[in-house]
């Protein structure tokens, strides 16, 4: 019995078309430009440019040293302050104040956000006052805080707590209220308890909003610290800068500003690293 072998079917090509073999693997995706691959964990290009302008302006005399000391002058002053112990001692005090205020503020904001985001009673009692607080700058409470708490450490830490609470509460509360309703239906189907729903559904779903608020809160903490440390303080970077202002020591003021900048950028960097590790499951447009 003879078997007729049919030739393989061919696709008729239109003029200008070319056949492509099916066994050819797709071309790799083009690599993104270096500025798009620039990781947030690396030093910012803008900071490098700013430092370059400062160095070149000071070296060429375009920047008056009586207005802004040269970078090498600030470095020399910083080394001198470190050697005599003034900078480490005041820096430690500032870190303690900021850490205490940030820690208390984060815990309080999370509890308030959970109460307001998961219960109607909590939202009616908490959300209104928190929005009023958001409308009033924290630093506007300084006179009242001095009258109530005096001018000691309690007043300083309390103001930092107030400045930290608002951004974390607002973003975490919004993330909780924006949870997909399908997750709630799934939790009801699986008969999760209230505690299991909070720990396995609500908190993971609110993490993106929490980290957004935490980044803003860290910045607010340092901003408030700068101000409160210049109100009858006897230690801290702000106190050091205020004393330098009285004696016209601009180089010490610049050192204090650089320290605040390093603390702000460094803490924001740590939060972003923690966010990336905690939210590895989330695919963002940057990936």
In the chain, the number of structural domains is 1
Is residue 251 in some structural domain? no
Which pLDDT score, from 0 to 100, does residue 249 have? 87
> Is the pTM here over 0.85, yes or no?
no
* 26-35, 43-52, 155-164, 178-187, range with the lowest pLDDT: 26-35
At residue 265's C-alpha, the angle toward residues 245 and 132, to 5°, is: 80
Whether the predicted pLDDT of 40 surpasses 60: no
pLDDT given at position 24 = 46
Mean pLDDT value of segment 111-139: 88
- The two structure tokens encoding residue 123: 């939202």
Q: Is residue 265 part of a domain?
A: yes
Domain membership flag for residue 71: no
Q: List the single range of 131-145, 180-194, 269-283 with lowest mean pLDDT.
A: 180-194
In a domain, 256, yes or no: no
Read off the pLDDT band of 2 (50, 70, 90): very low
At 202-252, the pLDDT tens digits run: 787 788 889 999 999 999 999 899 888 888 788 889 889 988 988 888 999
Contact in structure between 189 and 235 (CB atoms under 8 Å): no
Q: How confident is the model at residue 285 (pLDDT cuts 50, 70, 90)?
A: very low
**CA–CA distance, 40 with 32 (Å, rounded to integer):** 16
Domain that holds residue 156: 93-233+261-276
What are the structure tokens assigned to 227, written together?
């101000």
For the stretch 246-281, pLDDT in tens is 888 899 999 999 999 899 889 988 999 988 888 876
Within-domain flag for 67: no
Identify the CATH number of the domain in which residue 182 sits.
Answer: 1.10.3720.10
Find the mean pLDDT for residues 71-98: 92
Residue 219 falls inside a structural domain: yes
As a whole number, the mean pLDDT across the chain is: 80
Is residue 196 a part of any domain in this protein?
yes
Which has the closest alpha carbon to 110: 202, 178, 223?
A: 202
Instruction: Please check whether residue 29 lies inside any domain of the structure.
Output: no
The angle subtended at Cα 182 by Cα 176 and Cα 183, nearest 5°, is 55
**195 vs 287 pLDDT, higher one:** 195
pLDDT of 34 reads 44
């Amino acid at each position: 019995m003879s078997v007729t072998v049919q030739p393989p079917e061919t696709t008729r090509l239109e003029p200008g078309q070319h056949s492509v073999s099916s066994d050819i693997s797709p071309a790799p995706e083009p690599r993104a430009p270096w500025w798009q691959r620039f990781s947030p964990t690396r030093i910012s290009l803008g900071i490098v440019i700013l430092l370059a302008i400062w160095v070149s302006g000071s070296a060429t005399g375009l920047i008056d040293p009586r207005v802004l000391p040269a970078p090498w002058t600030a470095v020399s002053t910083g080394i001198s302050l470190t050697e005599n112990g003034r900078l480490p001692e005041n820096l430690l005090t500032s870190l303690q104040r900021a850490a205490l205020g940030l820690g208390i503020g984060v815990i309080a904001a999370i509890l308030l956000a959970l109460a307001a985001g998961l219960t109607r009673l909590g939202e009616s009692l908490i959300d209104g006052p928190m929005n009023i607080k958001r409308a009033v700058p924290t630093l506007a409470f300084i006179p009242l805080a001095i009258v109530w708490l005096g001018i000691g450490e309690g007043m300083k830490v309390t103001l930092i707590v107030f400045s930290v609470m608002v951004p974390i509460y607002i973003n975490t509360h919004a993330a909780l209220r924006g949870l997909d309703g399908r997750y709630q239906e799934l939790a009801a189907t699986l008969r999760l308890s209230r505690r299991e729903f909070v720990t396995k559904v609500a908190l993971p779903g609110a993490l993106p909003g929490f980290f957004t608020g935490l980044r803003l809160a860290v910045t607010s903490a340092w901003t408030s610290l700068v101000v409160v440390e210049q109100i009858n303080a006897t230690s801290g970077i702000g106190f050091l800068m205020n004393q330098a202002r009285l004696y016209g020591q601009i180089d010490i003021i610049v050192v204090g500003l650089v320290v605040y900048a390093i603390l702000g950028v460094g803490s924001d960097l740590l939060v972003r690293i923690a966010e990336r590790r905690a939210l590895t499951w989330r695919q963002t447009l940057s990936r």
